[in-house]
Amino acid sequence: MRFEEELRLETDRVNEIIHRYLPAEEGFQRTVNIAMNYSINAGGKRLRPIIMQETYRLFDGHSRIVEPFMAAMEMIHTSSLIHDDLPCMDNDELRRGQKTVWAAFGEDMAVLAGDALLLYAFETAAKAFSLHESPLKIGKAMQVLAEKSGINGMVGGQTLDVEKSGEGLSEEELDYIYVNKTAALLEASMMIGAILADASNEDVRLSGEIARKIGVAFQIRDDILDVTADAETLGKPSFSDEKNNKTTFVSLHGIEAAERRVQELTDEAIHLMQRLTGENRFLTQLFLSLVGREK
Ligand code: GRG
């Protein structure tokens, strides 16, 4: 089967898993549940849960324990997009091809929907405890999920990014932002897949290192698309970085250098994959496909 077809089928299967864990739209508080589902159901590439599942398979995992974590990861990612779009952050009105949550439901509901999705993610991941597998590895996976989302991960990266808007950045600061704001959730996805499949500590570490490189490459590609693709293709506004006075790899080094860096980081990651105790051709192809992604 062609890779594109395989990816489409995989995305459909991942969507089915995520939908099983979404909250029912009922109760006095249902407006927030509706806003949570609105943002998740708008689509998205589902890259993080796909990477988690494929890493789990790479290390020969074959139970359903990974599924609540896949849904949890997409919830955390989506919660960050909801908050990222708020007027006090990027002030964007288009995401995943539809109105952003604050534009559709108001700022108050968007703050609450982001908060609620973040916490519902941990409620969802905790459902793994009922699947009769080692509670120790579930606990470890939850620790990684929390660490990489919080001040030592995504929130940390976003903090420096927001604080430094309109100012120049050193290479070290830019790297900190990319490694944390974007790569940390990809890192967590691979590490959790490995942990749940009982991979060795060295394989978990290596998985994190590979995903960090892919994550930084992914963010640089995002910067490139921000200045080269149109809003219709992206499903979100282009030139958002310029509007928000963001220093990016592209604004610092130009598009050609950015393209080269994406390729270099991807090559390094693919090379490191050969050191893992296991192989997954689909995952390798997925990483390679990200180099040239158009949305
Ligand atoms: C609510 C925990 C929490 C944190 C809020 C706002 C914020 C802190 C963090 C923002 C992080 C962020 C939006 C980073 C950008 C990462 C990025 C390139 C996202 C786009 O990911 P895709 O292309 O999106 O995978 P789809 O829509 O396909 O899922």
CA distances for 221 relative to 139, 142, 216, 274, angstroms: 33, 29, 9, 24
What integer pLDDT is reported at residue 5 of this predicted model? 96
Tokens of 119: 């916490």
Ligand 1 atom closest to residue 219's alpha carbon, by position in its atom list? 18
Q: What is the pLDDT of residue 242?
A: 84
Does ligand 1 lie within 6 Å of residue 222's CB atom? yes
Tell me, in angstroms, the distance from the centre of ligand 1 to residue 81's CA. Answer: 5
Q: Is the CB of 276 under 6 A from ligand 1?
A: no
Cα torsion angle, 181, 292, 38, 129, sign: negative
Ranges of H-type helices in 23-153:
30-41, 47-58, 66-84, 101-105, 107-125, 135-149
DSSP tag of 183: I
Ligand 1 pocket residue status of 44, Cβ below 6 Å: yes
Q: Which residues contact 132 (CB under 8 A, 6 or more apart)?
A: none
CATH number reported for the structural domain that contains residue 100 in this entry: 1.10.600.10
Q: What pLDDT, on a 0 to 100 scale, did the predictor assign at position 287?
A: 96
Looking at the structure of the chain, the number of domains it has is 1
CA of 284 to the centre of ligand 1 (A): 23
Secondary structure (DSSP) of 120-182: HHHHHHGGGGGG-S-HHHHHHHHHHHHHHHSTTTHHHHHHHHHHTTTS---HHHHHHHIIIII
What string of pLDDT tens digits covers the 295 residues of the chain?
A: 799 999 999 999 999 999 999 999 999 999 999 999 999 999 899 999 999 999 999 999 999 999 999 999 999 999 999 999 999 999 999 999 999 999 999 999 999 999 999 999 999 999 999 998 899 999 999 999 999 999 999 999 999 999 999 888 999 999 999 999 999 999 999 999 999 999 999 999 999 999 999 999 999 999 999 999 888 888 888 888 888 888 999 999 999 999 999 999 999 999 999 999 999 999 999 999 988 888 8
CA angle 242, 91, 105 (to 5 degrees): 155
Judge if the beta carbon of residue 47 lies within 6 A of ligand 1: yes
* Confidence (pLDDT) at 194: 98
pTM of the full structure: 0.96
What is the residue range of 32's domain?
A: 3-291
Residue 194: Cβ within 10 Å count: 30
Cβ atoms of 66 and 52 within 8 Å: the answer is yes
Longest dimension (CA), the chain: 53
